[in-house]
Amino acid sequence: MIRVNVKETSDRILSFEMSGHADFAEHGQDLVCAGASAVSFGAVNAILELTKIEPQIQQESSGYLKVVFPDRLDEKTEEQVQLLVRAMIVSLKTIEQDYGQYIKITFTA
């Protein structure tokens, strides 16, 4: 199962962490894993390219990804980062709605 943990405050997403494998299908055929990977890496790439910030990124070949967003961004950049990461979460929730036995999203303070 893919586990996504989103760490947030009442008004800000601080970080997210993804780990595990969906095991929906064989390696290379797993559309749940491919979809979750495309959504998360696409969002991180968009944040890097469009906002020019440098979040802390930890990635492993085992399917692990952790992204921590910097504090003290200017207001415009913070809004852009939050919009992009929230859009990623909406897309992941859509995958979770259809394939909940293969992906689980949790939110922690």
User: Which residue among 32, 33, 84, 92 is the active-site one?
Assistant: 33
Known active-site residue 45:
no
Containing structural domain, residue 32: 2-108
* Angstrom distance (rounded) from CA 24 to CA 51: 34
* Angstrom distance (rounded) from CA 65 to CA 67: 7
pLDDT score, position 26: 84
* Angstrom distance (rounded) from CA 30 to CA 75: 39
Task: Read off the CATH number of the domain in which 79 is found.
Answer: 3.30.70.1490
When divided into structural domains, the chain yields a total of 1
Known active-site residue 27:
no
User: Which residue among 7, 21, 66, 86 is the active-site one?
Assistant: 21
Q: Which helix (H) or strand (E) holds 69?
A: none
pLDDT in tens, the chain (109 residues): 999 999 999 999 999 999 999 989 887 889 999 999 999 999 999 999 999 999 999 999 888 999 999 999 999 999 999 999 999 999 999 999 999 999 999 999 9
Q: What is the pTM of this model?
A: 0.93
